[in-house]
Chains A and B, each alone.
Chain A
Amino acid sequence: MDLFVNAIVAGILLGAFYAAVSVGLSISFGQLDIVNIAHPAFVIVGSYIAWILNSRYGLDPVLVGVLAAPIFFIVGALIYRIYYAAFERTGQESLSGLAFFFGVMFIIEVVLILVYGVDYRLVSAGYLSKNVDLGFVGLPLRLVVPFLVASAMTGAVWLYLSRTFTGRAILAVAQDRLALQLMGADPVRIKQFAFGLAIATTAIAGALLIMIGPVEPSLGRVYIGRAFAIVVLGGMGSIPGMVIAALLIGVLESLVSSFAGPSWAPAVAFGALLITLAVRPSGLFGRA
Chain B
Amino acid sequence: MLKTRADKIFWAVLAAVFLGGLALTELVANEYYYTAIYAILQATIMAVAWNILGGFTGYVNFGSAAFFAIGAYTAVALDKWLGLPLPFLIAASAAVCGLMGLGVGYLTLRLKGVYFAIATLAMAIVLETFVTNWEYVGAARGVYILTPEKVPFFRSYIQLLFVVMLALTLGSIAISRALNSSRIGRGLAAIRDDEVAAECAGVPTLRLKLISTTVMGAMMGVAGAPYPFFVTFVDPLSAFNLFVAVNAIAMPMIGGTAHWIGPVIGALVIGGAQEAITVTISSELNVLVVGLMLVLFITLAPQGIVGLVQKWMKRRKR
Contacts and interface: CB of A to CB of B under 8 A. Distances in A.
A35 B291 contact: no
B58 to A, nearest CB: 6
Interface string B70-108: 000000000000000000000000000000000000011
Interface stretch (A97-105, A119-127, A157-165, A194-202): A97-105
A205 to B, nearest CB: 19
B138 to A, nearest CB: 14
Contacts of A95: 54, 58, 60, 257
Contact of B125 (A37, A114, A270): A270
Nearest to B302: A96
A281 B115 contact: yes
Interface in A221-243: 221-222, 224-225, 228-229, 232
A267 B125 contact: yes
A14 to B, nearest CB: 18
A94 interface: yes
B270 interface: no
B140 to A, nearest CB: 8
Contacts of A281: 111, 115
B294 interface: yes
Contact of B133 (A99, A264, A273, A274): A264
Interface in B288-308: 288, 291-292, 294-295, 298-300, 302
Contacts of B111: 277, 281
The B interface, classified by DSSP as helix, strand, loop or mixed, is helix
A263 interface: yes
Contact of A106 (B113, B126, B242, B299): B242
A218 interface: yes
The A interface, classified by DSSP as helix, strand, loop or mixed, is helix
B119 A86 contact: no
B298 A35 contact: no
A107 B292 contact: yes
A228 B121 CA distance: 10
A267 B294 CA distance: 29
Nearest to A275: B107
Interface of A: 35, 37, 82, 86, 90, 92, 94-96, 98-100, 102-104, 106-107, 109-111, 113-114, 218, 221-222, 224-225, 228-229, 232, 263-264, 266-267, 270-271, 273-274, 277-278, 281
Given A225-B121, A228-B118, A277-B107, 12 more contacts: A37-B62, A90-B302, A92-B302, A99-B294, A103-B294, A104-B295, A106-B242, A106-B294, A107-B291, A229-B122, A277-B118, A278-B107
Interface of B: 54, 58, 60, 62, 107-108, 111, 113-115, 117-119, 121-123, 125-126, 129-130, 132-133, 140, 242, 246, 249-250, 253, 257, 284-285, 287-288, 291-292, 294-295, 298-300, 302
